[in-house]
Structure 1
Amino acid sequence: MERALYGEDGFYRRGERPAEHFRTSVHASPRFAQAVARLLAEVDAALGHPPRLDLVDVGAGSGRLLALVLAAAGPDLAPRLAPTAVEIAPRPDGVPGAVAWRSDPPASVTGLVIANEWLDNVPLDVVEQTPDGPRAVLVDPPTGAETLGGPPPGDALDWLARWWPLRAPGDRAEIGGPRCAAWADVVGRLERGVAIAIDYAHTREARPAYGTLTGYRDGATVPPVPDGSCDVTAHVALDACAAAGERAGATATLLTTQRAALRGLGLAGTRPPVELAHRDPRGYVAALCAAGEDAELTDPGGLGGFGWLAQAVGAPLPAQISTASP
């Protein structure tokens, strides 16, 4: 998975953009970025309007989210805003000059970190339960053919016992230790502020029995053959990542859904009153379009079903989402 995604000829190393292969919230509607801008303004206020406010997008893809948030930032915030894209692919054309482009997160962050559909691409191992215990699932990269290998190492077994216990032969788990470590590294870089991971997710009480490993190419799901031709992804154990973030220094934690969080940030998806069509036809059409975009972003069976993990260091969680329930 590491080689297929990030190796010399890997899927993301060669500059593939997520929007070319699957629909993300960022590309579904600019209203997602506008909600992030409102979230950023609340973080800024909680931090006392520092002279420099970091906005870090981990797994930035094309840089579109940062560009849209910059456009939405008000005159009081824009001069202090320091946007940084963290992405291993080369900087694409059209990214605003104010956006720094780097392959790893800054060492210190005061502000907001957004990791939208990043953790699902952090490579991991898959194991399958056998009568003799968990065994590693080995895969032939050119063909995707699978065989079972030996038992996973002790740290993986410890993670499984706590976060994804396997019960019946044939059950599979995706060992999320590398994602926990990656998220803890992000949280550990926060001097003051909030970090938010947004992703396909599940919790210990409802892990999928056969795992979630999936491939995406050109807008369709495909077998997750790790040959570099497709995106290889698996849902995220965000509850385990939350515990790792707390060990890394998070002082407040929230696990919720995108539907709840975006509704807290003002994306209600309410259809405008028909009377508006008579008074202001253009305004009615604009409001109707906005309602449709909000509906897609908050659809519990789609993007709205994504998990949101918000963790704060030296600051409160934003009030607009801290009261949100899944």
Structure 2
Amino acid sequence: MTNEWCGWREATERALYGPGEGFYTRAGGPGPAGHFRTSVHVSPLFAGAVATLLCRVDAALGHPGELALVDVGAGRGELLTEVLAALPDDVAARLRPYAVERAARPGGLDPRIGWHDELPAPGSVSGLLFANEWLDNVPVDVVETDADGVLRRVLVRADGTERLGGPVDGADAEWLARWWPVGPDASPGLRAEIGRPRDEAWARAAGTLRAGLAVAADYAHERAARPPFGTLTGFRAGREVPPVPDGSCDLTAHVALDSCAGPRAERLSQRAALHALGVDGRRPPLTLAATDPAGYVRALGTAGAAAELTDPGGLGGFGWLVEPVGGACAGLLAE
């Protein structure tokens, strides 16, 4: 890693995805699961819910001869592997599982899963596109108000040292004015993250569908409640650490999903989405313990995993952006 001054977007791109040296592209190691826990890693219930949603998409599209499941930010292929195991045979037989990931294909992966470092071509597939905790890793620039209340880009070096650069202008200033406004009388030190690259990345991802449903699940915030000091942080070996763009840690910032949303998109919490897909954290009845002790223990474990996935103070508070492409797949998450 070089140590020149640059914006956080450039530094993050290099630190996460630099060839041979990026956090996600470095050969070997445990992959993302060794550093942080996503819904996919909590329980197979999450993949089961995605499988349920995929079956709804399949039915809405009239059971096409080829059905796509595009997993954007596929990690080591965990979600696709578990979804394949959860699908009915007739759906699995028609499925084209499509992993989009900039890391190399892991060994031992199901040969049915296609592994690609780019999205499918625009309008080329029909089915479900699912992006779990992908947008928070799309690099963005960070800005901060100076002593005069002027928004300036934050420059950073690979060792994490920061200083303020030039004022924000052009399309980035327009994005901030609309989606993350910081007034001219703002106190020095207030921060924002320019989400415009994420808007564009999501539009490209959803645009790969000819028909179907595009879903993003991520840490999120809304315009009325943007965090005043930003959200950029790092993760390493399961612990939150300072965001240092040297390739040693994940770099992530919460997503302004409301700015990503297209005109037909729906936004809801993960709790509401998973409830609509049949994931319920209620404990099993105690009477089951007397009649089937082993079944009670299994049901209790399932309920605990479901509770973690739907906890409004944790994973259940994630935002889901649900965008139908074409007219057939609207309303598939209505309870």
Fold match (TM-score > 0.5) = yes
**Distance in 2 (alpha carbons) for counterparts of 1:322 and 1:105:** 28
- Aligned-residue sequence identity (percent) comes to 61
Please say if 1:126 is aligned against 2:145.
no
CA contact (8 A) 1:42 1:318 kept: no
Pairwise CA distance, 1:321: 1.7
Would you say how many aligned residue pairs link Structure 1 and Structure 2? 315
Match of 1:249 in 2: none
Match of 2:258 in 1: 239
Equivalent residue runs for 1:218-237 within 5 Å? 218-237=237-256
CA contact (8 A) 2:61 2:329 kept: no
Pairwise CA distance, 1:105: 1.2
**Distance in 1 (alpha carbons) for counterparts of 2:114 and 2:70:** 9
**Distance in 1 (alpha carbons) for counterparts of 2:306 and 2:327:** 29
CA contact (8 A) 2:57 2:332 kept: no
CA 1:153–1:109 in 2, change beyond 3 Å: closer, same or farther? farther
Equivalent residue runs for 1:35-50 within 5 Å? 35-50=49-64
Match of 1:258 in 2: 270
Q: Which stretches in structure 1 are left out of the alignment for 5+ residues?
A: 247-251
Please say if 1:6 is aligned against 2:17.
yes
Please say if 1:269 is aligned against 2:281.
yes
Pairwise CA distance, 1:320: 5.0
Match of 2:8 in 1: none
Pairwise CA distance, 1:281: 1.6
**CA RMSD in angstroms, aligned pairs only:** 1.2
**Distance in 1 (alpha carbons) for counterparts of 2:54 and 2:193:** 33
Deviation per residue, 1:224-256 (Å, 9 max, x gap): 0101110011000000000xx34xxxxx31100
Runs of 4+ in 1 over 6 A off after TM superposition: none
Deviation per residue, 1:9-52 (Å, 9 max, x gap): 11111146221111110011011000100000000000000000
SS in 2 for 1:221: strand
Q: What amino acid sits opposite 2:195 in the alignment?
A: G
SS in 1 for 2:99: strand
Match of 1:99 in 2: 113
CA contact (8 A) 2:234 2:240 kept: yes
- 2:47 corresponds to which of 11, 28, 33: 33
Deviation per residue, 1:291-326 (Å, 9 max, x gap): 000001001111111100000111344645235xxx
Q: Which stretches in structure 2 are left out of the alignment for 5+ residues?
A: 1-11
**Distance in 2 (alpha carbons) for counterparts of 1:266 and 1:31:** 9
**Distance in 2 (alpha carbons) for counterparts of 1:237 and 1:316:** 27
Match of 1:181 in 2: 200
Q: What amino acid sits opposite 2:182 in the alignment?
A: L
Equivalent residue runs for 1:49-64 within 5 Å? 49-64=63-78
CA contact (8 A) 2:132 2:217 kept: yes
Please say if 1:164 is aligned against 2:180.
yes
Q: What amino acid sits opposite 1:133 in the alignment?
A: V
**Distance in 2 (alpha carbons) for counterparts of 1:57 and 1:47:** 19
**Distance in 1 (alpha carbons) for counterparts of 2:18 and 2:174:** 28
**Distance in 2 (alpha carbons) for counterparts of 1:318 and 1:63:** 27
